[in-house]
Structure 1
Amino acid sequence: MTALINARTIGLNAARSAVDTAVAVATSLGVPVCVAVVDRAGHLLAYGRMDSAPLLSAQIALDKAYTVAAFGLPTHEWFDLIKDEPALLHGIVKTDRLVVFGGGVPVTVDGELVGAVGVSGGSTKQDRLIAESGAAAAVPQSVSTSGGVT
């Protein structure tokens, strides 16, 4: 049995790139949003709240990113998984910080979860598009053999 696990995660520069890109996309859509980027463990790395973004969207964006980091599943996929299971549908949605609608997406490298982006303030379709744009910006074009972003 291995005593240690070697796991990659995004860093601050990648998180800032995700926020900047998400804000640029949201601006082009005319949608003021909040953007939260977390590492693979769900810890906040970068955050941005656009002028006029709804105040409640701040926590929702963070919870969307946290949900993805905690389960590795985009938030827009949750409802289809639980809609036909009454116990889950009425029980799991009461779990603190769990969001089951669009706007939270994973940041992956070679299929490995390295972080997540959460966006709130627009429709779920807009939030998802903006989050996906941010996540794409956070993914390094190449990864060095030591696991660092190059």
Structure 2
Amino acid sequence: MNSKPVLGLQEATQILHAAEAEAAANQWAVAIAVVDDGGHPIALQRVDACAPIGAYIAVEKARTAALGRRESKAYEDMVNGGRSAFLSAPLLTSLEGGVPLIINGQVVGAVGVSGVKADQDAQIARAGATALV
């Protein structure tokens, strides 16, 4: 039987705070989601000035990164490269801003951010992911 690390609420909160600090440092109003390896939400925060849809999109970006075991940007690149079939893939958002959380080579979850430009969302998500190391 295999064993693997499991992302808990304590770690999710740590990731959320690190991502929130990056967003605040840049005065970016965003939603930040942390999900487990199955894409199920553990923590979610939406800054007051962030549009309500940001919370939904942040969760979907995180879910995509967790289930796909790669940054959500990879799917955006595929679509932009002509593979439009990925637009209809279930449980996937082909938008940059979802980053997997990897411990000892195992994906334990992901963080997703929505609310600003795609590369800025990804910057915040990566800041959150580095808190786990």
The TM-score with structure 2 as length reference comes to 0.92
Q: 125, 129, 132: which one pairs with 1:131? A: 125
Say whether residues 1:108 and 2:98 are aligned partners: no
Give me the whole-angstrom Cα distance separating, in 1, the residues matched to 2:40 and 2:130.
Answer: 19
* 1:7-38 deviation digits (Å, cap 9, x = unpaired): 32211111001111111110111111000001
Which residue of 21, 34, 39 corresponds with 1:37?
A: 34
- Total equivalences in the alignment: 133
- Does residue 1:20 correspond to 2:14, yes or no? no
C-alpha RMSD of matched pairs (Å): 1.5
The SS at the match of 1:138 is: coil
Distance 2:91 2:12 in 1: 20
Letter in 2 for 1:105: V
The one-letter code matched in structure 2 to 1:27 is A
Report the TM-score, using the length of structure 1 for normalisation: 0.82
Structure 1 residue 76 displacement after superposition = 1.2
Distance in 1, matches of 2:78 and 2:70, equals 11
Is the contact made by 2:78 and 2:86 (CA closer than 8 Å) also made in structure 1?
Answer: no
**Distance of 2:102 and 2:44 partners within structure 1:** 19
**Among 29, 53, 57, which residue is 2:54 paired with?**
57
Identity of aligned residues (%): 35
Q: What CA distance in whole angstroms lies between the structure 2 residues aligned with 1:67 and 1:79? A: 11
Q: Which amino acid aligns with 2:101?
A: V
Unaligned runs of 5+ in 2: none
SS in 1 for 2:131: helix
